[in-house]
Structure 1
């Protein structure tokens, strides 16, 4: 959807188009369950054969652990490791015996031996990886995966480029996977409309608002805005997206290590 600054005239940040409680949403858990509903699963069909007893499943950029804890309950015979570059993002406690967490940065080195991991999951890292870092990250994933291992990528297509970030990266991950040594095993894309998809659309509005709020210290200076103006602008844009029933497109890729 293309918008102009004139589209925002008269739209207040407390617009009727915004979810009532979006500021109270936990963005990691809200995004997790929204994407699970959108794709009808936590994993793509191509990944399922790797989820056998004793399989090592790694979630890179795990946040406070919604995907990995959901998976650890659903496929309880696998072993799970969540990876985050900062300990501040990780949950304080994890009651599940088949889940542990590691503090590591994929841009340095993952804390796993070569050929030791069955599945790697990476989701919504568009604000974390610069354009030139995707191949480096995926080659490190390739190193730790066993032959026949799978990497699953979920990324939002936003058709925006800002600084060294490429919000159009979702459409490019297939060739990047192949450049990193993977065979493309599966690609699925799903579209969600902010207004006409009911509760799911409302949930993605809340996710969008919270995601941009979390990135405000980085994005506001790039946009030449102070924090209050940035927040108001984001809320106005999201309200207009709902009003005009704009949509998001999420891409899910599965790459296989030969």
Structure 2
């Protein structure tokens, strides 16, 4: 399970060139771009900031298991109670498919569909009740009205611009059956008071997001956003992820995922944090992470469920 304490092997060295190379997959129409050995999304209408390579899949899988351990389940109690025995479930922004694959084993009589704008999900080995499709929700969902009993969406703050959220929520509302449930989770990483380095790093990250029209404070707005889009809020809860010298295994795993994510954002954050010496970026990340532990930084994960009326 992702929350166990373990030592991680460093990623293998890459012989790929460090200059920017645009390329397209020969098996899909999903474009990508390679920067300093990391492969990123290059979708025209997407603002998503994290990579789409194997290192990123490892980070997303780790994050999934840590969040599951944090809440004790893949579903909040209200979503579990509303989950039909043989329902149809959609996971928006499924990434490598961790949530879908686990849920499909837990609910073998239900049908699960995972969608993502990149084909980083399993293409061969998967349960019979799972399918994946390469779909960009910003272009609409290719499903009939009232198709799903439950829609799951998590950690989309780094991929959706503020003016795009209404379309996203309207599409989810449309494809849900009457009485269907949305479960939506976002991370609050806005605390900055612990040290000057933490403040500098987090405010720089927020600046990058705001330049891309993303909202770092979206976790605080889930309830009014669902209400504005005709959902009845059923459950709204948060869990604190506390870092420090005595941090638990969940915090340790989340800190590893956060560290890996921050290092992958070098193309965006280095110009703000160390514009004269971008080669110092990883050292600054390590300094920031040390402060997170030494000065007890924390984040919060918020999850909400809403019912389509």
Shorter chain as denominator, the TM-score bin is 0.7 to 0.9
Cα deviation, residue 92, structure 1: 3.5
- TM-score, scaled relative to structure 2: 0.72
Distance 1:227 1:154 in 2: 33
Cα deviation, residue 224, structure 1: 6.3
291, 297, 309: which one pairs with 1:240? 291
1:187 equivalent in alignment to 2:236: yes
1:254 equivalent in alignment to 2:305: yes
232, 245, 259: which one pairs with 1:209? 259
Cα deviation, residue 179, structure 1: 1.1
1:130 equivalent in alignment to 2:161: yes
1:21 equivalent in alignment to 2:71: no
1:169 equivalent in alignment to 2:218: yes
Cα distance per residue 1:148-197 (max 9 Å; x no partner): 11111111012253222211110011111111221111100000111233
Cα 1:57–1:214 shift into 2, 3 Å: farther
64-73 or 21-30, which moves further after superposition? 21-30
Distance 1:105 1:129 in 2: 11
Cα 1:114–1:212 shift into 2, 3 Å: same
Cα deviation, residue 223, structure 1: 5.2
After TM superposition, the structure 1 = structure 2 runs for residues 55-74 of structure 1, keeping only pairs within 5 Å, are 55-74=87-106
Distance 1:253 1:158 in 2: 17
Cα deviation, residue 234, structure 1: 2.3
Distance 1:179 1:76 in 2: 34
The RMSD of aligned alpha carbons is: 2.0
- TM-score, scaled relative to structure 1: 0.85
Distance 1:218 1:82 in 2: 29
1:153 equivalent in alignment to 2:184: yes
Determine the structure 2 residue equivalent to 1:81: 113
Cα deviation, residue 222, structure 1: 5.8
Counterpart secondary structure, 1:21: coil
Cα deviation, residue 239, structure 1: 1.6
Contact 1:80 1:99 in 2 (8 A): yes
Cα deviation, residue 229, structure 1: 3.4
Counterpart secondary structure, 1:173: helix
Count of residue correspondences: 239
Distance 2:281 2:90 in 1: 35
Contact 2:101 2:126 in 1 (8 A): no
User: Which structure 2 residue ranges, 5 or more long, are not aligned?
Assistant: 1-5, 12-54, 191-202
Distance 1:228 1:141 in 2: 42
Cα 1:111–1:214 shift into 2, 3 Å: farther
Larger RCO, structure (CA 8 Å, separation 6 or more):
1
Counterpart secondary structure, 1:172: helix
